[in-house]
Amino acid sequence: MTVTDEDRTVRATSPINPPTCWSTPPAPVCGVGRTWLARSVGPPKTSTRTDEVVVTGEPTLIGAATDVLNMADVIVAGGGPAGLSAALFTAKNDLETLVFDTDETWMHKAHLFNYLGIDSMDGSEFMDVSREQVEAFGVDLSQGEEVTAVEETGDGFTVETDDGEYAADYVVLATGADRSLATELGCATTEEGIVDVGVDMETSVEDAYATGAMVRAEEWQAVIAAGDGAAAALNILSKEKGEHYHDFDVPADAE
């Protein structure tokens, strides 16, 4: 099947094949879960996914299946302290969040004695705990899948990885000192060659954020990187809610 007029949003369980069933709003007729997007008309193309999908809208269907593009509210490139911190805040506040992590974080070479609230912890253990925490809040964490390109589309971003193509409203770059994705995206840099951001970590490209080592000239600390991720996430949440927002929980018995 193909969509002949315009892009169509689809919902699916993961993993997924090109569309096998369709419906018009509001009632889907098959799998639910991630959001996918039918992007183009053309011949059948192999998908890396293996399940059913639901397409909403009123598409005109002809012939063979189109590609489908995995949709999210937020895509994070990098799964170190900065990336996982951003993902924690956005997922906790009900934004669908995908993290692509090659597990190349410097934390595997570190031992934490200077992270507030932690007396002593091996860096790899810290990463294991952090991953469990974000997944518990619903972050879709893709280990071993590297973001290879990010492109602005006018209504969001297309993100390419080794395994497929994705789309998101917001992108958070958290790839350590590797600034190549930010450069290719067109983010402005300073005279020192670091990515230029404001206090909210937003780059010169609207809705694209840079965090961690790529925004500092070697003044790198895990706790600072985590703060960068949180700052980026809060700005995203403020945009989504239309007002300044902070994430603050109180005990159940608080008065």
Q: Using one digit for the tens of pLDDT, what is the confidence trace for 195-232?
A: 999 999 999 999 999 999 999 988 888 999 999 999 99
The DSSP line for the chain is --BSSS-EEEEE-SS--S------SS---S--SEEEEE---SS----S--S-EEE-S-PPB-SSPPPEEEEEEEEEE--SHHHHHHHHHHHHTT--EEEEE-S--GGGG-EESSSTT-SSEEHHHHHHHHHHHHHHTT-EEEET--EEEEEE-SSSEEEEESS-EEEEEEEEE--TT--HHHHHHT--B-TTSSBP--TT-B-SSTTEEE-GGGGSSS---HHHHHHHHHHHHHHHHHHHHTS--------TT--
For residue 145, the model assigns a pLDDT of 94
Average pLDDT over residues 114-132: 91
Q: What is the mean pLDDT of the chain?
A: 79
For residue 55, the model assigns a pLDDT of 46
Tell me which residue of 60, 67, 57, 58 sits closest to 19, measured CA to CA.
Answer: 67
CA Rg value for the chain:
19
For residue 25, the model assigns a pLDDT of 34
Domains and CATH numbers, the chain: 1-66 (no CATH), 72-241 (3.50.50.60)
Residue 129 pLDDT exceeds 90: yes
For residue 190, the model assigns a pLDDT of 96
Count of C-beta atoms within a 10 Å radius of residue 7: 16
Tell me which residue of 84, 123, 78, 134 sits closest to 103, measured CA to CA.
Answer: 78
Tell me which residue of 52, 73, 60, 50 sits closest to 24, measured CA to CA.
Answer: 60
For residue 5, the model assigns a pLDDT of 36
- pLDDT tens by residue, 68-78: 578 999 999 99
Residue 49 pLDDT exceeds 80: no
For residue 61, the model assigns a pLDDT of 38
Is pTM beyond 0.75? Reply is: no
- pLDDT tens by residue, 152-190: 998 999 999 989 999 999 999 999 999 999 999 999 999
Residue 9 pLDDT exceeds 70: no
- Could you tell me which residue, 79 or 5, shows the higher pLDDT? 79
